[in-house]
Amino acid sequence: MNVRTFFTVAAITLSVGGCVAGGAGMPTAAVTSADEFVSMATVSNTFEIETSRLALQRSRDREVRRFARQMIRDHTAASARLQRVASNAGVPPVSPMLDAAHERMYDDLEDEPVGTFDSAYIEAQGLAHQEAITLFSGYAANGDNPRLQAFASDTLPTLQRHAEHVNMLASSRPVAGRM
C-alpha cells in the first residue's frame, strides 16, 4: 500500500472509530438517526460494490475475483433491501454515492500499482467491513426506527462473514508494501 493510501485508510479508520467514540468529525455516539444510518449504510454498500468492480477489472487472482463478485452480489442485494426498508419506514431514498473520505480511498485504490493491488483491495475491504459492522451493530442496538434496526440486525451476520472471508484472504497472501 502506498503512503497516500496508508494515510487515507488511517483517516477513514479514525472516522469509523468516531462513529462510536467521537473522532474525525463524526458523531460522538453511535448513529441513532434513521436518516444518518441510511446515508452511511448506502455509502458503505456503494464503496464495497465499486471497489469490487475495480477488483474485477484489475485483479488476476482467482480468489480475489471470486470474493469481489460475492461482494457485488451481496452488497447490491443489501442496498436494494435497505432502500425498500427505508422507503417503508418513511426515510427518503439516498443516491448510491461515495462521501469524500471513501472517494479518496477509492481513488487511492485505483492508483495502486498492479503488484500491490490485490493486497490493497483486501485491506480496504477489511477496513470497510469493520466500519460497516460498527455502524450496523450500533444502529441495531440504539437506532430510532424499529424497521431499520431489524434490517441492521439481520444484515450484521453477513457483514461478519464477509469480514472473516477478508481475514482468510489477507492471511493467505503478503501484505502490500508497508512502511
79 membership: H or E segment, kind and range: helix 62-88
Domain span at residue 117 reads 3-12+32-171
pTM of the entire predicted model: 0.81
| Residue 18 within a domain | no
> What letters, b where the CB count within 10 A reaches 16 and e where it falls short, cover 128-140?
bbbbbbbbbbbbb
**179 found inside a domain:** no
> What's the pLDDT score for residue 30?
73
pLDDT tens per residue across span 111-128:
999 999 999 999 999 999
Q: Which residue has the higher pLDDT, 128 or 32?
A: 128
The answer to whether 129 and 73 are in contact (CB under 8 A) is no
Residues 82-87 have a mean pLDDT of 96
Average pLDDT score over residue span 53-74: 96
Contact 58, 117 (CB under 8 A): yes
**Among 5-19, 29-43, 146-160, the least confident range:** 5-19
Q: How many domains does the chain have?
A: 1
Residue 2 has pLDDT above 90, yes or no: no
* Residue 22 domain flag: no
Q: Are 59 and 68 in contact (CB under 8 A)?
A: yes
118 found inside a domain:
yes
Q: What is the mean pLDDT of the chain?
A: 84
Does residue 61 lie in a domain region? yes
Q: In the chain, pLDDT over 70 holds for what percent of residues?
A: 80
CA 31 to CA 125: how far, in whole Å? 21
Report the candidate in 1, 32, 31 with the shortest Cα–Cα distance to residue 15: 31
The C-alpha cell that represents 94 in the structure block: 439516498
pLDDT of residue 173: 72
Query: What average pLDDT score do residues 35-61 get?
Result: 96
Q: Rounded mean pLDDT of 32-56?
A: 95
Looking at per-residue pLDDT, the higher value among 174 and 3 belongs to: 174
C-alpha cell at 115: 503488484
Q: So what's the pLDDT on residue 13?
A: 46
Cα–Cα dist 6/120, whole Å: 9
CATH classification at residue 128: 1.20.1260.10
Per-residue pLDDT averaged across 66-91, rounded? 96
Is residue 147, in this structure, part of any structural domain at all? yes
**Is residue 21 domain-resident?**
no
Q: Which three cell numbers stand for residue 164?
A: 472473516
